[in-house]
Amino acid sequence: MNKLILVKYASEIFLKGLNRNKFEKKLRDNIKKKLKGINYELISDQGRYFIKADDIEEATERVRKVFGVAEVCIVTEVPRDMQAIKEEALKKVKDANPKNFKIETNRANKVFPKNSLETSKEVGAYVVYHMDGLEVKVKNPECLVNIEIRENAYIYTTKDKIKGAGGLPYGINGSTMLMLSGGIDSPVAGYLMARRGVELHCVYYHSHPYTSERAKDKVKDLAKILSTYTEKVKLHIVPFTEIQMAIINGCREDELTIIMRRFMMRVACGLAEKYGIQSVATGESIGQVASQTMEGLMVSNDCADRPVFRPLIAMDKTDIMDIARGIGTYETSILPYEDCCTIFVPKHPKTKPRVESIRESESVLNIDELVNKAIEETEVVIFQ
Ligand code: ATP
Ligand code: MG
C-alpha cells in the first residue's frame, strides 16, 4: 500500500477549451519547480495529477500553495480489486470513527467491472456490516470516502483533503508592476494578481533620508514573502526624494498627494515600458483615504499608458487584513516604519481633484526630466 498526493486543479482550467493544454502544461511546470529538491514522480491522469514523493508531507505543503491547485488529497493506492478496495475503505472509516458516512466512487477506468454506483453500494454495505451502529448519510456525511478507480484504485476521506491556493497558473496571464509600499494593502493586491496567474514585478518609492532604511527593509521583506508564492520577484527601488522636493517647492499644499501619486504612476509605467511589463497594480480601495476617491483615481489614471489594476478596490479593510494574515504579510506590514506618503501629507488634501487643474499646477515642474532620472537611478533587488 502506497500513499500518493492527488492534485485536483481549478475547475476553470477545464473550461478553457483549446487553451486547456497550455494551462495544464503551465501548471505542471509550476508544480515541478516547487518540488525542486524533493525526490518525486508526477503522473498526469485525465485531468488530475498523482505525485509520488519521498517526503509526502513537505511535497503536499508545497503543492498546495501552487496557484491553479484547487485541492490536494493524500490518497492510499490499492490494486484495482474489489476486495482490496473494501478493506481499505473499512480501515479508513474505522480510523475516522464517524457516526455516519457515505461512499462516492469515480470510475475513470471503465475496465473495472462494476460501475460507480454499484461500487459505492457494495463497498458501503461491506463497511456497514463490519461496523456496529454506523449509518449511511447521503447529505453532509461526517465522513465521505472517495474511491477513484483508474490504473489502480485510490481511496481518501474528508480528513485527507487540503484546500489548495486556487486561482490560475502563475505566469499564464501576462505581467504587472505592483506598487508595493510597506502597508497592509499592496502585498495583498500583489498576491491576488499573482493568484490569477499574473507575473509579479514590484516597485517601491523610497524617500531617503525622510524614510529610513528600515522602511526599505520592510518592503524587501514583503517582496520576499510574495516571492514564496510566485517565482523570482524583482523589486525596483526608486529614489523618490528629488521628485517629492520638486513637488513641495513648486505646487500647492493641498495638491501634493495627488501630484505625487501621478508621479508614482508615471514612474511605474516608465519602468513597465522599459522591462516589457504590461500593466500596473496598486493596493488602493475606494474611499479608504483622501486620495482614493473616484476623482483621485481618475486623476492618477490620467498619467497611465497601460491598464491599472486595483484588485482591492471594492474590499473592506477588515477583509483585506484577513487575507494579509492568511498569506503571512500582516505581521511585517504592521511594523511601525513610516512610508514616504506619511511625511508629505497635506493637512487638507484635495479629495475631488480635477484633471485639468492638476495638469496646470504641475506644469511648472520639469516632469519628463524628473521621471527619467528616477527611472535611471532605480536599483533592482531580486528575491527568489
Ligand atoms: P498600503 O497599505 O498598501 O500602503 P495605504 O492604505 O497606505 O496602502 P496609500 O498610502 O494611499 O494607501 O497608497 C495607496 C497605494 O499606492 C498603495 O497600496 C501602493 O500600491 C501605492 N503606494 C503608496 N506608497 C507607495 C510607495 N512608497 N512605494 C510604492 N507604492 C506605494
Ligand atoms: Mg501606504
Arithmetic mean of pLDDT, 118-125: 96
Q: Per-residue pLDDT tens for 128-158? A: 999 999 999 999 999 999 999 998 999 999 9
* pLDDT at 66 (0 to 100): 95
* Predicted confidence (pLDDT) at residue 48 exceeds the cutoff of 70: yes
* pLDDT at 288 (0 to 100): 87
Which amino acids are annotated as binding site for ATP, given as ranges? Answer: 179-180, 204-205, 261, 283, 292
Contact criterion met (CB below 8 Å) for 123 and 85: yes
Question: What is the 334 CA–ligand 1 centroid distance (Å)?
Answer: 13
* pLDDT at 219 (0 to 100): 97
Q: Which residues surround the ion ligand 2 when the cut-off is CB under 5 Å?
A: 181, 183
Instruction: Give CA–CA dist 166/150, Å, rounded.
Output: 25
- C-alpha pair distances (Å), 262 with each of 179, 201, 344, 359: 13, 19, 14, 10
Arithmetic mean of pLDDT, 282-286: 97
Question: What is the 284 CA–ligand 1 centroid distance (Å)?
Answer: 7
* Predicted confidence (pLDDT) at residue 200 exceeds the cutoff of 80: yes
Q: What angle do CA 235, 238, 241 make, to 5 degrees?
A: 150
The closest of 247, 243, 227, 244 to 235, measured between CA atoms, is: 227
Least trusted range by pLDDT, from 65-69, 108-112, 162-166, 178-182 = 108-112
Q: Pseudo-torsion of CA 75, 76, 80, 86, nearest 10°?
A: -110
* pLDDT at 340 (0 to 100): 54
**Confidence category of residue 13, pLDDT binned at 50, 70, 90:** confident
* Predicted confidence (pLDDT) at residue 357 exceeds the cutoff of 80: yes
* pLDDT at 203 (0 to 100): 98
Compare 10 and 370 and report the one with higher pLDDT.
370
Question: What is the 306 CA–ligand 1 centroid distance (Å)?
Answer: 19
* pLDDT at 339 (0 to 100): 61
Q: Per-residue pLDDT tens for 55-95? A: 999 999 999 999 999 999 999 999 999 999 999 999 999 99
Arithmetic mean of pLDDT, 150-173: 94
Q: What is the mean pLDDT of the chain?
A: 93
Instruction: Give CA–CA dist 57/158, Å, rounded.
Output: 17
Q: Per-residue pLDDT tens for 225-261? A: 999 999 899 999 999 999 999 999 999 999 999 999 9
Q: Per-residue pLDDT tens for 341-352? A: 565 777 788 888
- C-alpha pair distances (Å), 82 with each of 79, 128, 136, 222, 334: 9, 16, 20, 52, 56
* Predicted confidence (pLDDT) at residue 185 exceeds the cutoff of 90: yes
* pLDDT at 319 (0 to 100): 97
* pLDDT at 306 (0 to 100): 98
- Ligand 1, atom 12, lies closest to the CA of 284
* pLDDT at 343 (0 to 100): 59
Question: Could you tell me what percent of the chain has a pLDDT over 90?
Answer: 84
Compare 14 and 375 and report the one with higher pLDDT.
375
- Ligand 1, atom 23, lies closest to the CA of 181
Give the burial string for 346-382 (b: 16+ CB within 10 Å, else e).
beebbbebeeeebeebbeebebeebbeebbeebeebe
Pocket test for ligand 1, best of 186, 226, 244 (most atoms within 8 A of CB): 186
Compare 47 and 64 and report the one with higher pLDDT.
64
* pLDDT at 338 (0 to 100): 67
* pLDDT at 19 (0 to 100): 79
- Ligand 1, atom 2, lies closest to the CA of 183
Pocket of ligand 1 (CB under 6 A): 179-181, 183-186, 203-205, 282-284, 288-289, 291, 339-341
**Confidence category of residue 16, pLDDT binned at 50, 70, 90:** low
* Predicted confidence (pLDDT) at residue 47 exceeds the cutoff of 90: no
Compare 121 and 339 and report the one with higher pLDDT.
121
User: Which ligand has the minimum distance to the alpha carbon of residue 292?
Assistant: 1
Look at domain 175-383 and name its CATH class. alpha beta
Break the chain into its structural domains and give their ranges. Answer: 2-163, 175-383
* pLDDT at 8 (0 to 100): 93
Using a cut of 0.85, tell me whether the model's pTM lies above it.
yes
CATH number of 2-163: 3.30.2130.30
* pLDDT at 342 (0 to 100): 60
* pLDDT at 317 (0 to 100): 96
Residue 235 CB partners (closer than 8 Å, separation 6+): 180, 202, 203, 204, 219, 220, 223, 380, 381, 382, 383
* pLDDT at 352 (0 to 100): 87
